[in-house]
Structure 1
Amino acid sequence: MTDIEVDADSEVDVDVDVVVIGSGFAGLCAALEAEAAGATVLIAESQDVLGGSSRLAHGLIMGAGTRFQAAQGITDSGDDLFRHYMTLNQWQVDPAVGWRLCQETGPTIEWLNDHGVEIVGLYPSGDEAVPRGHATLGGQAVVDALVSAIRRRPRIDIALRRRVDRLLVEDGQVCGIAVGEDEIRSRATILACGGLGANTEMLKLFCPTPLTAGRDWLWYLGAPGSQGDGIRLTMPLDVQLAGRGRSQLTMRPNFGRYPDTYFPGWLVIVNDQGRRFYNEMSPYSITQPIVLAQGGPVFGVFDNATRLAASPHSTKATKKVALPGETEEDWIIPKIDAMVDAGVVHRSDTIEGLARKIGVPAANLEGTFERYNGHVARGEDTDFQKVAQHMRPVATPPFYATELRLYMLGLTSVGPRIDAHARVLDQRSRAIPGLYAAGEASGGVLGPVYAGSGNSIANATTFGRVAGRTAAADLCAEAEVAEPVGAAL
């Protein structure tokens, strides 16, 4: 595509072709793609640093059919990812949007690598047939690489500490932004301003489940700029909202504010009836809906023999996945003992006494461990098929238990509904001229089940690129993006 030119006879007076609101993965990718198509771009960031919540991420990116998979002899494709993604979410994602994500996230990972993002390994993203989690050096490293690329593009400008107050709209078309008394007129505006995890009032209105963890537990991993601006700015435009109530929550004990995402295979988790209800080594993406379905508190339980064996740096080998960048451990003897002293971990000489302390039926809890210990002795978990080599009996007193909650909030995924080209849709399902959205600022791309590590970054980077390309293409009066969405879904 050639450089975008404004008709000399046009009455439209603009300061910049494309305004991008937000500088996380979605915003940075959108800016680079719009500029590559010939547009001038302004990135408006509300905080005093670039990167938003993206800079705090682990940096895994879910993708299929990449050269990095091929180098390890892994055969995969966007079609396979699409079938997995849609089935996992019971087709509660618009198929065209899901198709776009699954087909383009692989090429996007390669595009990121071409822009200086190092891919340092492959990990399982979730419960998938082949590893799809592409590890980087972390969110900040990805941001740094993209910002470095942007610094080499003179047609991209950046404005920090500029939280957008409102969108400028004329005759139904978004034509810029306002920050206080200052107005910037543009021909296209891309919402890439993150989710609403840092705004309790917005959570109450649009995504209340995280608040059930309790104020003294809930921990949002993102940046303070995640205030729900994508919703706030578009409410006057009568947009459709998609993904209401959707978020990604990780279950942990209340041991500290650091990520330790997966449980060691020896931990036994029971519900408020004192019964196991799933494979404790399951990916956190699967854990969330299963735990919510219990409808009550859940607890992690183990015995003294397991405690004594839980030396520092011992848990990594007993997890389904040890995510890169996680350096602190919950389930080690120094931390366990400290939490016993703090009253966070309960201890009793008998299973019956432990049951009383955590408020579950004693007979049920005793029965659970009679059955579980039998599984350990036989070397097979005939109930939930947990890997037997990591199972340990719960038989040596004293016994320990601590409550677990879904309190580590990774992201929210409610926002203006977009089509497969990242155009924002109004209540009549019409694309709002001049308005696009990507990443957490959009809704409907992530389904009710988080597909696994890297699902959010795949969304942000892929649809950031799509939004940038579409905005530039629409400025040239192209009816559609050059690449068609898959015709056969």
Structure 2
Amino acid sequence: MHNEKNLTRRNFVGAALVGGMGVAATSFLAGCSSAPAASDTQGANQEAWDEETDVIVVGSGGAGLAAAVEAAGAGVGVIVLEKTNIIGGDSTLCDGILGGWGTKLAKAQGIDVSADDVYNWFMGHPEWYGPKDPEVARLLADKSGETIDWLQEIGVPFVEEVAPRFGYTELPVIHQVDGKGAEMIRILKENAEGAGAIIETETAATKLIANDEGRVIGVAASSKKGDKRIKANKGVVMATGSYAGSPSMLAQLNAESAHLLPGSNPGATGDGLAMAMVIGAYTARAAELPLMSSLAGVESGSIVNWNYYERLHGLWLDANGERFFNEETNYENPTGHRAIVRKQNEQGKQVVAFIGTTPELEAVLAMRPIEWATGETVEEVAEMVGLDGAQVKATVDRFNSLCETGQADDFGRPAEFMIPLTGPFYAAPISVSTSVTMGGFRTNTDAQALKLMAPTKEGSLTAPIAGLYAAGVVCEWNCAAGATVLCAVTLGRIAGQNAAKEEPAA
């Protein structure tokens, strides 16, 4: 048995997509040698195994590596399968933002936030991110600080300041990894391998293998060296990430997502979710719109992630050159992104960002050029991006008059953001992309993947799938913006701990 530049998901996603648009037609099982077939129940024990270990972790992002660290640290054999040649998945591209309470860093600053505060943050605004599983959300909130302290203890460096960041929450709970996601993944990988886990890259899991009783006992996989079957004596942890990298799967699960730009991680194609659905895993919220980013200037390479790092005050214009929504909607509030993508779908072309020269723009221009359509008059800039100059001039004049007279905005824009547009003017199409999907495995608080059952007298409608665990964004969204990685690592740790405790399959 054998045991250069900083790129982040949010500031790089648009540029990555420009070069990757040709991948848009790939199937959601890209990277696998074959589509997931029905589980091997008949004769599952009759075929020879090519490899054997105790715990198989599928996926090497934050959730998968956390599971590997915990399982290998418990003294069991661990193999991590990664279908790409890059360790870390979405986690290596993220900003390293983790929201938690009661940490050593927070206590050193005298910050007083409770588990209840974090739980309420997670559960707040169901109209934004949909309903959450209260038991799983409670677990994630309770353990959020513990997870951050654990990461720090194993060597992940954090920026000392704990505070609200990027508008995610008013709570002083946001911790940021010094070196962002890439540094966190480097340390997790180092710890996993140091504990004895073996990481096999360019090895794609293609099928879950279950025995006659329905217990998951291994996986089929494909690599450049050929196909193989790997036995898991204790369990399999699915940490394969989202399906944000697959345009076809996004469109299949939600028609409104048909024209979204896929995420910057081409390996996030929903393989694990599809494989588990074949053996009866219960998935929730998979048809919901994913988390989105509104990126102006993708085509020119001068990308502004609207209202995230760089808040540029301007207007969103439809194909008629008219406004349609409050352009100052916070980045983490999905209603703005949804309004843009729905308008895009309705009119069959992109929405346009139209901005004037403001101190915020001048600050950006001092750091880097904005290579958008630009000019001294509204009309000339409007026509550069295919809009009717006279109509856009009327729209801008209407907005400027509201700003100057102090009247209420037509779309509820807050008074502090009623800033008149003055030249030079800039304009660029807005593209909507996604990096994190909302739906996936339903798990319990032990990170066990669940199957849906018929109602019983006790009222239980779900039961664990023996030998199968799940963690990370392959699971349904049960946290809040700013806590995605935190929750992936938390549930990953639990999955690794519990898989390692399993009795070996007969």
Q: Which TM-score band (shorter chain)?
A: 0.7 to 0.9
CA distance in 2, matches of 1:50, 1:353: 42
Deviation at 1:112, TM superposition (A): 0.4
Question: What is the CA–CA distance in structure 1 between the aligned matches of 2:86 and 2:383, rounded to whole Å?
Answer: 53
1:257 and 1:349 map into 2 onto residues whose CA distance is: 22
- Whether 2:430 is the aligned partner of 1:404: answer yes
Aligned partner of 2:105 in structure 1 is 68
State the distance in 1 between where 2:78 and 2:465 align. Answer: 20
Contact 1:206 1:414 in 2 (8 A): no
Alignment of 1:10-25 (within 5 A): 15-25=52-62
User: Structure 2: which amino acid aligns with 1:403?
Assistant: P
Relative to structure 1, is the Cα distance of residues 257 and 119 closer, same or farther in structure 2, using a 3 angstrom cutoff? farther
1:204 to 237, 251, 270: 251
Residue 403 of structure 2 corresponds to 372
Residue matched to 1:6: none
Match in the other structure for 1:84: 121
2:230 alignment partner AA: I
Structure 2 residue matching 1:147: 3-state secondary structure: helix
Q: 1-side partners of 2:254 and 2:316: how far apart?
A: 26
**Which of 108, 127, 133 is residue 174 of structure 2 equivalent to?**
133
How many percent of aligned residue pairs carry the same amino acid?
26
Q: Deviations over 1:314-356 (max 9, x none)?
A: 14xxxxxxxxxxxxxxx679744x3217x9x994269999995
> Secondary structure, in 3 states, of the residue corresponding to 1:15?
strand
Task: Map residues 179-328 of structure 1 onto 2, 5 A cutoff.
Answer: 179-180=221-222, 181-186=227-232, 187-213=234-260, 218-222=261-265, 224-244=266-286, 245-255=288-298, 260-263=304-307, 264-265=310-311, 267-270=313-316, 272=318, 274-275=322-323, 277-278=325-326, 280=328, 282-286=329-333, 288-293=334-339, 295-297=342-344, 298-303=351-356, 305-306=357-358, 310-311=361-362, 314-315=363-364
Q: How many residues align?
A: 427
2:447 corresponding residue in structure 1: 422
1:165 is displaced (CA, Å) by 1.4
Question: Residues 24 and 351 from structure 1, CA distance in 2 versus in 1: closer, same or farther, beyond 3 angstroms?
Answer: closer
Contact 1:241 1:416 in 2 (8 A): yes
After TM superposition, the structure 1 = structure 2 runs for residues 415-454 of structure 1, keeping only pairs within 5 Å, are 415-428=440-453, 429-446=462-479, 451-452=480-481, 454=482
Unaligned runs of 5+ in 2: 1-44, 345-350, 454-461
Q: Which range moves more in the overlay, 187-196 or 355-364?
A: 355-364
> For 1:348, what is the secondary structure of its paired residue?
helix
Aligned to 2:30: none
Contact kept, 8 Å, 2:93 with 2:181, in 1: the verdict is yes
Calculate the TM-score normalised by the size of structure 1.
Answer: 0.77
TM-superposition CA deviations, 1:427-467 (whole Å, max 9, x none): 21211000011112222435xxxx32x32211211111121
SS of the equivalent of 2:388 reads: helix
Aligned twin of 1:468: 496
Q: CA RMSD in A?
A: 3.7
1:279 deviation in Å? 6.1
Q: Secondary structure at 2:152's aligned position in 1?
A: helix
> Does the C-alpha gap of structure 1 residues 291 and 269 become closer, same or farther in structure 2, counting only changes over 3 Å?
farther
Query: Aligned partners of 2:354, 2:404: CA distance in 1, in Å?
Result: 13
Aligned pair in 2 of structure 1 residues 410, 131: CA closer, same or farther (>3 Å)?
Answer: farther
2:296–2:429 Cα contact (<8 Å) kept: yes
Name whichever of 67-76 and 111-120 sits farther off: 67-76
Distance 1:353 1:233, change over 3 A: closer
Cα distance in 2 for residues equivalent to 1:254 and 1:382 = 24
Question: 2:220 pairs with 178, 182, 204, which one?
Answer: 178
Tell me: CA distance 1:290–1:199, structure 2 relative to 1, closer, same or farther (3 Å): closer
- Seen in structure 2, the aligned counterparts of structure 1 residues 470 and 260 have a Cα distance that, compared at 3 Å, is farther
Q: Which residue of 2 aligns with 1:481?
A: none
Is residue 2:187 matched to residue 1:148? no
Say if 1:350 and 1:404 are closer, same or farther in 2 by CA, change over 3 A: closer
TM-score normalised by length of structure 2: 0.74
- Distance in 2 separating the partners of 1:357 and 1:114: 59
Q: Which runs of 5+ in 1 are unaligned?
A: 1-10, 316-330, 478-489
Distance 1:372 1:143 in 2: 47
1:399 & 1:127 partners in 2: Cα distance? 30
CA 78–126 in structure 1, closer or farther in 2 if over 3 Å, else same: farther
With over 3 angstroms needed to count, the CA separation of the structure-2 counterparts of 1:161 and 1:468, relative to structure 1, is same
Task: State the alpha-carbon separation in 2 of the partners of residues 35 and 172 from structure 1.
Answer: 25
